[in-house]
A and B are shown apart, each in its own frame.
Chain A
Amino acid sequence: MVSIGYNSLLVLCGALVLGALCGLVGSFIYLRKNTLISDATSHATLPGIGIGFLVAFALGWEQGRHLPTLLAGAALTGALAAFTIGWMQRNTRLNNDVAVGAVLSVFYGAGIVLLSIIQRLENASQAALDSFLLGQIAGISIGDIYLILILCAVTIICTLLLLKELTLLCFDEEFAHTTGMSVSKVDIALICLMLGVVCVGLRMVGLILILALLIIPPVTARLWTDKLSNMLWLSSAIGGLCALTGAYLSASIEHLPAGAAIVLCAAALFFPSALFRRHAA
């Protein structure tokens, strides 16, 4: 048996918790039929990562690779994108998919431009920014893992506190409104949770494929159960298992991006489930 050091164990633990979080929050994204906005939001974190890098670089923090600053930047532009989509839906006559498509491509394009500018900076360790696209396990620091674990814990606690409200929002928004629940606040809370998950997952899974980890575990879980509580557990377990396996593979095989490995693990569970459980969901 291969012995695993404390650091590697911590990284795998981080992947497990992150995957479980994705499965939990992703369940509500799926039930709210809100996957498109999640895709736009995750892609829209790229310019924020660039801005965060430039800020950290200017301040001389870890040659720009200061994870808290990068994630703060990511959260900022991700939130801006989600807000812009909401605004376009309310104030223009554009269809939802048009609004999402426009915002996703504009923000992502801006991010790519920023990255190309960063590549011309001297002494900047811009290579590390590529890992935010597809995720990377190698080179992740212990400090980063602690940050990821803490953010995961906060997001999980918030989601569990809002379980009842999120369920009602997803099932019957109009009824929720008539009982006095602030539908818009709970909706924003769900967007914030999604944004939190996306940001936490950037380093390990990457912004391009994080959506898959938000969607595939709940869809797979839904195929096996009709009960929400079971679906939440199962989705979290599937997410955790896929992230753990994918992270292990990425750490063991050189140049294998973690995000891609994780998504393939999820697909390996999804397709047989879809085949065997065709009548369900």
Chain B
Amino acid sequence: MSFVTILALGLSLFIAAPTIAHLLRRGRAREQPFPPAALVPEARATTRERRSLEDRGLLLLRALIILGLALLGAGPLVQCSRVALGRTDGASVAIAIVVDDSASMRARLAGEKTRFQRALEAGQDLLASARDGDAVALVLAGKPARLALAAGTDLQAARRALTELSPSDRATDLATALSLARAALTSLPHADKRVVLLSDLAGELPAEPMPNVWAPLPELAAKIENCGVVSAEQNGTRVTARVACSSEAAARARTLQLVGKDAKSEARLVVRGGIQSLNLEAKDAGSVSVELSGKDQNPADDRAEVAPESRSLALAVHADSAREAVATGGAPLLEQALHSLAIGAPVRPLSELPREAGELSGVAALFIDDPSGLTPETRTAIGGWLEGGGVAALFLGERAHDTQLGATLEPFLRGAVDWERLPSGGGADPTTFAWLGVEAQSLVDLAPKGRSRLDTALLPGAEVVGRWSDGKVMDARQERGRGLLFSVGLPVSVETSDLPLRPGFLALLDHMVGEALRRRGPQTSEAGTEWWFPAAGSLQVIGPKGPLTQREADGQRLVAPDVTGRYAVSLGGRNETRFITLPAEEVLATPKGELPATWRSPRAAGAPLVDASPELGWALLALLALEIATRVLRLWRERRSHGAIDPALP
């Protein structure tokens, strides 16, 4: 704050001047010696009344005028509640506005305004203070964080994009959002780059402080009492709901009720914070929704649709258990590796390869280790299952070289595959496995005893996704209908290589399982989960707010429902119902309000300053007009009073 500003603000002390003058005037009247005092009529009441009423109003007016002048003089550096962009030496600024559209932002502040609405207001205020040449990017912090508007100098587009935002039931993903925001500003030539975080900060921040991040809305951290229905599932006539409460007070005197035709069951919440499960008894299997009684500061999460009990998609494994057991003393390595991923999906061992597609019902991914070919029945069963969105992985070992009569490796590979011994060892080319992440480095010195030669067996359309260090194909993938096929040139056997023991192997399995779950699509998932669908065939997803927008990515179609409720999915004539639930942490997480002290940087902080001179100018004009009106009114009253005096003679 400059000396001029302090000096201008110091003018406000002159408010005391009319106050003192008024106090002096409020005292006794001026005393005058006057011999004929007895001839003067007393008018004390009138005098005091006039002083006390009119002068007090004038005092207030004049004090306001002085205050207004002081603020006007101090502008534009007067701090006010409106968020605005401060700038250094008038230079242009590049800002990335991170708007948190997570479920916790639906909470109501005082005055019935939600946190999200306040954040949007702050965003609009920021844009209002931006000038030509300033660059703005817009990032959404609901999980997964998204770039809503790439950085650009079109402020009108930024304002429009901001107005089009809507709240969601997503979880909070501040770390990714901040990374996105920073990345969005990287290529800009501006020297002054800032990230404005319009969030209640009810989420994890990155461990390392990021420079020039400003969170100007500490009021969003106001503590609220809230309970929300996280999910509700029905099994038979029993409805099990999970309810999260931010505190004991929030759960007090509240019940969960079944809402639907003839549904009267209800259960009282346990008075404690955290997550609790409640059981309700439904009359039939067609319950609609559950609802919390009473009101809290986030009514948006008090109701949830009841989903049928989720069918967990299984991972099927076909491995030579007899041979593997010798090495592990238990389940085959492939099974154990899948268990170690801890994804919650059951792993189902298959003693024999399926002969009918129905045997793969409920299976999301099929892992086949070192088969000696696939019979025509198996090929047909797997082919049909793949069309429905299955993911199959084939690990090829020495046995694939000796396929049985009538057996092939289709639909993975064409014909038979040669087995090649590698006495000198060798390893994978990590650059071709970069999609596995850092774990790809663990495949460099693999040194297997042999490998399957996939080069000559690849089907048309197959994509090589991993190579040996000598350029030969190690891993290939191929789309088939909604499904996906993986072919790996090594078996899951420690006798051939230590591939199953390496992190790269687990990363490979994780990728395959992830693809499977993504393609199958879970019946129940949290808001913000992306649903992937094949590009072919008609697709329509209708949610609580109508049809969802689809977008293309990686040759597939993508839908991202972000509001809790029931969704009708129609894909190629096949219909299914999916449910989006509320992330529990959005109820339980405590808003922080302010960034940690280590995050605050001089440039980002202290910028919520605004030039309110125009408004102050108008206010001053209004006050002056009021002053004149008061004086005129006073004069008129005086004249009327004089006229009303009765000149009574003594």
Decide whether A and B are members of one complex: no
